[in-house]
Chain A
């Protein structure tokens, strides 16, 4: 089965840039999607197809994907960005796969 690996936690100061990675075997050949989940709330799609943003998602959120690593980048981090972030792909043998999630802490 296909496995996605995320760091458990990332910390960043307000105004700085946060980078959350998602590792997988040849993940660059797949489309990667990212979700933000704040405590007690449902997940929200923030990036799809590696780097596209749904309407209403700030341009501060961007994504990239190459080789064995996909990255969600949050520029000019705000306190309100503190949340859990999950990457997700579709794999022909595993169907939908989520990463284990990364807790973003804004210092």
Chain B
């Protein structure tokens, strides 16, 4: 059974940093693209970032470029999101997701974790 368990969320001041982690199990982690998707309180889903199987390719939504960094450790079967220069509008539940990527055709999120809440407030 595919399991994705996020951790690392919490309360942080504007301008601060936070590192999210996602522990994967139940599948060959190194064989899949992985993603972070977020959801602000009472709002819809927003894609944040993707990372290729070997970590060589990384893609971000414009609003987090230069502030967030997605990474992975295939030996530890873990996905990370380093978030710097946090803003109030980054407040959201952050979901780790396993991505299906069909090059130049489509992408979709096959499995999701339960999410971790990040609150940016003074």
Contacts and interface: CB of A to CB of B under 8 A. Distances in A.
Interface stretch (B18-26, B72-80, B99-107): B99-107
Interface string B101-116: 0101111111111110
B61 A95 contact: yes
Contact of A101 (B44, B102, B106, B110): B44
Interface in B28-48: 35, 44-47
A2 interface: no
A48 B47 CA distance: 17
Contacts of A90: 105-108
Contacts of A35: 45, 109
A30 interface: yes
A42 interface: yes
A42 B106 contact: no
Contacts of B111: 45
A99 B46 CA distance: 9
A41 to B, nearest CB: 8
Contact of A98 (B45, B50, B104): B45
B109 A89 contact: no
Interface residues of A, number: 25
Interface in B43-68: 44-47, 50, 59, 61
A43 B95 contact: yes
A49 B105 CA distance: 10
Contacts of A86: 44-45
A6 to B, nearest CB: 9
A96 B95 contact: no
A54 interface: yes
A100 interface: yes
Contacts of B108: 31, 33, 45, 48-49, 88, 90
